[in-house]
Structure 1
C-alpha cells in the first residue's frame, strides 16, 4: 500500500478523506487522539486493522449501552514530559496537566468490564496508575493551576510569618500617619516596589530619614520610606523571597518525580490515545448509523447495504446498496450528468479506504475484500505549471495504475478516456479496463460512452449499473439501479433548458444516422430494462400493500375477538350477580320460614319463594307447560339450548330445579325450565389442502435484524413470520440486540398484535438474553 504524501493528497482530493477524518476527530476527547485520527491511512497489516475494528466494535457497544469513560481536561503531555526529563522545572500549570492525566488514567483503568469489552479492558489493564505522584501533585497544586498555601510545612510557616509581619507593619504605618499628619499630603500609606511608604510634603522630605522612592508629577510631594519602616519592610521582602524559593523547591521536586516517571507516563499516553481513538470511532459510527465492516480474503466480492457518503446530510441523502459478486471485477455506472455517479464512486471508495484504515463505515452492512494497493482518479487535475491538460493528467495517473496493477488492486476511475475524441476515448477506456481485469484488479468506473457500455454488457465480470433519472421531471433521484444501464437524457435536458426544438430534432436525426446497430439495440435494451424495473417496483408496492391490508385485517379480527370475550365476561358476570341475588333472597325467605308458626304466614312466604325467577320470564315468556304435557327430564351430559340467551352447551351438574351448563367455556347456572334439548353439534376438522415439502425443513429457525432501523426491522419480521406460518414453524428466535431497546420494543409490540402468535418471551442467557425473543406460533 502506498503511504507517501502523494497518495495522501490523492485520497484528500478524490474522496475528501481529510474532511471525513476531521469529522471523526471531532468525537475525540483530547488533541492526542484527534491527531492520531487525522493521520490515519489505509494499510495492508491485517492484524492491525482487525484489532482496530474490534476495538471500535467494543467502543460502539460501550457507548450504545450508555456508558462513558471520563477523559475530560486531559491534554497532550508529551512535551511536558520531555521538559521534565531534561531537568527544566515545570510550572504549576504544567504540573496540573500531569495531574489531570494521572487522574484520567486512574479512572480509565477501571472503566471497562472484561467480560463485555475484553480488548478495551486489556488496554486499560496495561495502564500504570501512579497514585503517589497523583497525590503529591494534588496536595501541592490547586485546580486553578496555582500552588496551594499549605503545599509544605515550611511554606505554611513562612506564609504565617509573612501575614504577621505585614500586619505589624500596617499597624506601624497607621500609627505613623496619625502622629505626623501635618507633614503628609495624604493620610494613608502606599506601597512602592513592595515597600510601605508615605506621601510627604516637599519641604519635609528629609524630616523622617529613611529612603526617598520618587516624587509626584507636580513635584510638591515625595514618596518616602521613613527610617521607622525600613527594617520591617526588609523583613517582609526577605520572607517573600523565602516563600518564592520554597515554591520553586516544591516545583523542582515534583518535576524530578515526573521526570522519573516519564517513561511510564509516555506508555500510558499511548494507551489512553488508543482507547480514546476507539471511543471516538464508536461515537461517530453511532451518530452516522454506520457499521463495523467485515473484511474477507476469499475473493473480490463486495457488499454495502444502505450506504451514504459521510459528508452528506443523512436526513436528506439517498442511501443505496452496492455489490460485486465473486467473479465480477468491474462495476460500471452510467447515467446523466449530475445524477450522482461521482458521489456513488466516492461512497464506495471511502468505505473501502476507511475499512482498511481501521475505521467503521457509513452503511448498515459492509463486507469488503482486502486490497494491497489503491488508485483513485476523480476530478479534473489540469496543471498549468506542468503543462498538463485534463486528458494528460488522467492518462498520467492511469499509466501508473496499469504499470503496477495486479491481484489485490482497487481502482476508482471516473470517466475513463474523457477529454479527447469520443471514439478514441471509448476505445482507450475499454482497453484499460480489459488490461486491469486481466491483471486481477477490482475497478469502479463511470462512463457516458455507448461503446463502453456495450462492451460492459457483453463482457464477463462486468456489472453495468446506473443512477436513476426521472424522465418526467428530468431530475435525478440519486438511486442506484443495479444491472440496468442508464441513458444520458441529453436531448430531454437540452429541451428543458430552452434549446429550440428544431435543433434538438436535427441532433436526433444525426444520432440515428451515425449510431451503429449495436448502439440502437443497447438503447432499446435500456428502455426495456427501465420498463421492467418500473413494473417490478409496482409489483413490490402491491405486495407491500397486501401485507399492510393483511395486518389491518388481523388487527380488526383481534379487536373483534376481544370484544366478544368482553361481552361474554360481562354476560357471565351479570348472570352470576343475578343468581347470587336470587339465592340470597331465597335464603332470607327460608330463614323466615323457620321462625314462623302461623299457617297464613307460612303460606305467604312459600308463595314468595315460588315466585323467585318468574320476573325474568314476564316479558316474552312462553306459556307454561300444560298439565297434560310432561316436562323433559334432563340428565348430566345432555346437550341443551339456553332459551333467550342464543347459546348452547352441555349439562355438567343438576341440583333440584337448576342445572349448571358449560357453554363456550363458561359455567352458567339456569333453571331447568329455561333449557331445551338439542342434538350435539358435530365439529369437523378442516382438511389440509396445502402440502409440506422439503423446503420446510430448510426454513431458518431465527431472524437477525441487529443494526436495522425500526421500519426495516419490522418489514423483515413481517416477511419472516409470513414464511414461518407457510412452513409450519412452531418456535423461532428473533435476534434484535439490546442497544437502546427501541427495536426490541417495536418487535414485541408487533408480536402482540398478531393472531398467528401463541406466545413470546425474552430468550434465556444461553440464547441471547434480552438481545433475542423466542416466539411460539399457533
Structure 2
C-alpha cells in the first residue's frame, strides 16, 4: 500500500501513555523554557520521538551544530519577535492592518535581518553542511519593507508626519490653525479676564473653548459646548475661532483618511510578501527550536549519543534528567547487547524505579533528537514503541486493585510487543500471592523474550533471579545497598542479583537474635547458602570497584602530573626561545645602528687619511668595517645554533706595558701601545697612521708571523675573529672614538643632536670622561650644552674647563 512521506513520518512517531508515565512532558516543559519565540516554543511542545533512524540522526546533528555555535559565539539574536502569522494572512484578504500589527511585522523583519548577518567565519566546513547555518542562509530579509514600515509608523497609535507629503501638509495646516486659535483666545483672555472663570484654553468635543462665568456670557459671544457639574462655568467657543475649529475638523478627517490610505498601502505590500514572510517565520521557529535544544543540552551537561536500530542501549554515567545533576547518582546501564532482558532486584527506595525510568526517558530524549545526560560514547537504540508499566494505578471507580491495574496494562503491552519494542515493567508480578506472582512474572518475561523485545523489569522475587541466571539472553542487576549505613547507594550493578539483606537490617535495627535465628531456620539451607553467596559476591564486587576506582584515580593523577610537567617543559622552552629571539633582535638592531654610524665615521677617517699612508689606512678601514659586519653574521649563526661564547684566541699578556707590541684579534690589527691602560681598562694602540682605543683585556701577544707581517706592512685579507657580538660592537666603536668632541661652528640644534649621538657612542665604548669643545663666543652653545647635560641620565657630572683645559670654552663631563 502506497503511503506519502508525511504519513510514513507520522507512522514512525512514538506516542502513547508511556510518554507521560516516563514524564517526557516535563522534559518538553524544560525545553520550552529555552525557546525565545512563540514559533520555537510551539515546535518544542510538538517534539515527539520517532523510530526513523536517519531522521533521528539529522535531529541530533541539528542539536550538535546549534550547540557548537552557542559555545563559540553565544546565543543567536532572536529577541523582539511577536506572533504575526494571523496579521500576515489577514493582509492577504485585502484587509488593512493596524499600526500595532505593522510594527510587529517590522520588528520581525529586523530580527530576520540580524539573524541573516550572523558570522560564519569560524566555520571549517561549507555553511550548507552546517544545519543551523543552512536554515539561516535560507532566510529572505525584506529590508525595503521593514524600512518603509519603520519610516511611516512611530508607535502603535502614531503615524510619522513624513509618511507621505499629503499627511505632512495636512498636519502642518492643523498646527497652523491651532496656533492661530491659541493666539486669538489668549488675546480674548487678556482683554476680558473678569468674564472668565479661569484664564486658560480648554477642549470640548475636539473644539477649543474658554471657561466663562454664567453671568458674563454676554461678554464672550460664541457657542456653548458644555457646562461644569456645579453649573458655575460655561465652556464657550468664541465666534472668532468657530471657523478655524471647523477647518481643523475637516483637516482632522482628511488626516485620518490619509493615515488609512497609508496603512492600506503598507498592508498591501505585506500581502505581496506573504509567502516570504511565512517562510521566514517557519525558518526562525526552527532556528529557535534548534537553539533551545542546544541550550537544554548545555544546561544538562548532556552529550550526543551514538544511535542504532538494533535494540542496543549502553549508558555510561547516566543521570536522570529531571533530578538535580548535583544530587543524582550516575549509573552505568546496558541492555540489548549480549542479553535483551534485564531483571533488576534490590530493596525498596534503592533506585530500581529510577534506573528503569532513566533508561526509558533517555531513550525517548535520544529519539527526539535531544542530547542525553550521559558520558560521551553512550549508545541508544530507536524503538517503534516504548511500552511502560510503572507505578500503582489502582482505580476505585473501575474496581481495579493494584494487581488488576498492572495486569490490565501488561495485557495491552504483550499485544503490542515485537522485536522493535522497548518494554519497561516495574515490580513485575506484585500485588498478589508471591508464588503465583513470581510464576506469572517469569512467564511474562519469557513471552517478551520470545517476541524479541528489549525488556527491563524490576522485582523482589528470588525466582526471577534464578530465571535470569539459568535463561540465556537474560541478565541480573541489582541496586547496591550499604548494610553499614542501612541506606541505598543508588548504584546499579549489572551481572549480580540483589540480596534481600532483611536479616542484616533487622539485626542492626535491634530485632532479637532469637527471632532472627528462628526465621533463618524456617528458610531452606539452599536459600540461606544462596543469600550468603550473593552477599559475598556483592561485597567482593564492591571492594573490587573501590580498588578499580582508586587505581583509576591514581592513573588520572599520574597522567595529570605528566601533562603538567610536559606543559611546564614546553612553557620553559617557549620562553627560552622567546628570550633568545628577543636578545638576537636587540643585538641585530644595535649592530645595524652601530654599523651605520661606524661607516659614516670610517668614511670621515678615510677622507682625513687620504693624503698620507692612504694605502695602509684603506686596509685598516676595510678590516674594521668587515669585523663590524661580522657581528651581524654571528647573530644569524646564533639563530641556527645556540653555542656558548668562545674565548678570544691567542696568549693573553699578564700586564700591558706602554711601548709593547700587541695584537688585537677583534680588529685584526697589530700595533704598539702608546698609552694606557686607563681606569676603564682601555689603551691606545698605534698601527701605522691609525691610533685605536681598544680594551686591554682583548689584546694578545702577536704570533711570529704577525710580528713579521707588521714589520713589512704586507696587505692581507682581514680574518674574522671568534668573539662575542657585544665585544665587537664596543671594540669597533672604540677604534674610532676619541674622548673629545668639537661643536665649534654649529647651531644650537645641530650641536645638541651631535652631542646626543656622541654620548651614545661613548656609552657603547665605555668611555667615562669626555671633553666637549663649544668655544666661548656668545655663550649660547655653552648654555645649551649645560642644559642638555643636566637632564641627560647618561651623565654623572659635568663642569666648565679650568685653566689649561680650555676654561669657559670647554665642558668636562663624567659619564655613568
- TM-score, reference length from structure 1: 0.69
Closer/same/farther in 2, CA of residues 559 and 330 from structure 1, 3 Å limit: closer
1:488 alignment partner in structure 2: 500
Output the CA distance in 1 between the equivalents of 2:91 and 2:149.
14
1:327 alignment partner in structure 2: 338
2:366 alignment partner in structure 1: 355
1:509 alignment partner in structure 2: 518
2:168 alignment partner in structure 1: 156
* Aligned residue among 474, 492, 501 for 2:486: 474
1:294-693 superposed matches below 5 A? 294-297=306-309, 299-365=310-376, 366-493=378-505, 501-502=511-512, 505-506=514-515, 509-510=518-519, 512-515=521-524, 517=526, 519-541=527-549, 543-544=551-552, 547=555, 586=653, 589=656, 593-594=660-661
- Cα deviation, residue 491, structure 1: 4.4
- Cα deviation, residue 170, structure 1: 0.8
Judge conservation of contact 1:333–1:485 (CA < 8 Å) in 2.
Answer: yes
Output the CA distance in 2 between the equivalents of 1:469 and 1:234.
92
Closer/same/farther in 2, CA of residues 198 and 551 from structure 1, 3 Å limit: closer
Q: Deviations over 1:586-619 (max 9, x none)?
A: 5862567457899xxxxxxxxxxxxx99xxxxxx
1:131-146 superposed matches below 5 A? 131-142=143-154, 146=158
Judge conservation of contact 1:190–1:196 (CA < 8 Å) in 2.
Answer: yes
Closer/same/farther in 2, CA of residues 430 and 224 from structure 1, 3 Å limit: same
Output the CA distance in 2 between the equivalents of 1:556 and 1:168.
85
Q: Deviations over 1:1-23 (max 9, x none)?
A: 998999554312x2221111111
Output the CA distance in 2 between the equivalents of 1:209 and 1:72.
59
Judge conservation of contact 2:438–2:463 (CA < 8 Å) in 1.
Answer: yes
Moved more, 299-308 or 205-214: 205-214
* Aligned residue among 208, 227, 231 for 1:219: 231
Output the CA distance in 1 between the equivalents of 2:525 and 2:10.
43
1:54 alignment partner in structure 2: 61
Answering whether residue 32 of structure 2 is matched by residue 28 of structure 1, we say no
Answering whether residue 248 of structure 2 is matched by residue 241 of structure 1, we say no
Closer/same/farther in 2, CA of residues 357 and 543 from structure 1, 3 Å limit: closer
- Cα deviation, residue 398, structure 1: 0.8
Output the CA distance in 2 between the equivalents of 1:294 and 1:561.
38
Judge conservation of contact 1:25–1:34 (CA < 8 Å) in 2.
Answer: yes
- Cα deviation, residue 156, structure 1: 1.5
Output the CA distance in 2 between the equivalents of 1:287 and 1:399.
39
Output the CA distance in 1 between the equivalents of 2:653 and 2:89.
102
2:104 alignment partner in structure 1: 97
Structure 2: runs of 5 or more not aligned: 1-8, 576-643, 662-671, 676-695, 698-816
RMSD over aligned Cα atoms = 3.6
Output the CA distance in 2 between the equivalents of 1:549 and 1:273.
47
Q: Deviations over 1:376-399 (max 9, x none)?
A: 111111222222222111111110
Judge conservation of contact 1:25–1:38 (CA < 8 Å) in 2.
Answer: yes
Judge conservation of contact 1:133–1:257 (CA < 8 Å) in 2.
Answer: yes
Judge conservation of contact 1:345–1:412 (CA < 8 Å) in 2.
Answer: yes
2:585 alignment partner in structure 1: none
- Cα deviation, residue 411, structure 1: 1.0
- Cα deviation, residue 433, structure 1: 0.6
Q: Deviations over 1:137-175 (max 9, x none)?
A: 122223667432322222222222222111111111101
Judge conservation of contact 1:211–1:227 (CA < 8 Å) in 2.
Answer: yes
Closer/same/farther in 2, CA of residues 553 and 180 from structure 1, 3 Å limit: closer
Q: Deviations over 1:453-510 (max 9, x none)?
A: 12112221122112222111112222222212222334444566x5x513x7535633
Closer/same/farther in 2, CA of residues 199 and 348 from structure 1, 3 Å limit: same
Classify the secondary structure of the residue corresponding to 2:291.
Answer: helix
Closer/same/farther in 2, CA of residues 560 and 130 from structure 1, 3 Å limit: closer
Judge conservation of contact 2:321–2:373 (CA < 8 Å) in 1.
Answer: yes
Moved more, 306-315 or 145-154: 145-154
* Aligned residue among 240, 244, 247 for 1:232: 244
Judge conservation of contact 2:12–2:50 (CA < 8 Å) in 1.
Answer: no
Q: Work out which of the two has the higher radius of gyration on C-alpha atoms and give 1 or 2.
A: 2
2:809 alignment partner in structure 1: none
* Aligned residue among 196, 208, 214 for 1:202: 214
Judge conservation of contact 1:469–1:476 (CA < 8 Å) in 2.
Answer: yes
1:641 alignment partner in structure 2: none
1:687 alignment partner in structure 2: none
Output the CA distance in 2 between the equivalents of 1:251 and 1:522.
85
Classify the secondary structure of the residue corresponding to 1:188.
Answer: coil
Closer/same/farther in 2, CA of residues 124 and 66 from structure 1, 3 Å limit: closer
Output the CA distance in 1 between the equivalents of 2:561 and 2:541.
30
Q: Deviations over 1:256-290 (max 9, x none)?
A: 22223223322221222112111111121122111
- Cα deviation, residue 313, structure 1: 1.4
Closer/same/farther in 2, CA of residues 515 and 197 from structure 1, 3 Å limit: farther
Answering whether residue 273 of structure 2 is matched by residue 261 of structure 1, we say yes
1:697 alignment partner in structure 2: none
Structure 1: runs of 5 or more not aligned: 567-575, 599-611, 614-778
- Cα deviation, residue 246, structure 1: 1.8
Output the CA distance in 1 between the equivalents of 2:178 and 2:387.
75
- Cα deviation, residue 296, structure 1: 1.3
Judge conservation of contact 1:466–1:480 (CA < 8 Å) in 2.
Answer: yes
- Cα deviation, residue 443, structure 1: 0.9
Count of equivalent residues = 585
Moved more, 33-42 or 235-244: 235-244
Output the CA distance in 2 between the equivalents of 1:260 and 1:119.
29
Closer/same/farther in 2, CA of residues 10 and 126 from structure 1, 3 Å limit: same
2:26 alignment partner in structure 1: 19
Classify the secondary structure of the residue corresponding to 2:174.
Answer: helix
Output the CA distance in 1 between the equivalents of 2:68 and 2:50.
25
1:119 alignment partner in structure 2: 131
Output the CA distance in 1 between the equivalents of 2:11 and 2:487.
40
* Aligned residue among 85, 100, 124 for 2:92: 85
1:719 alignment partner in structure 2: none
Closer/same/farther in 2, CA of residues 556 and 417 from structure 1, 3 Å limit: closer
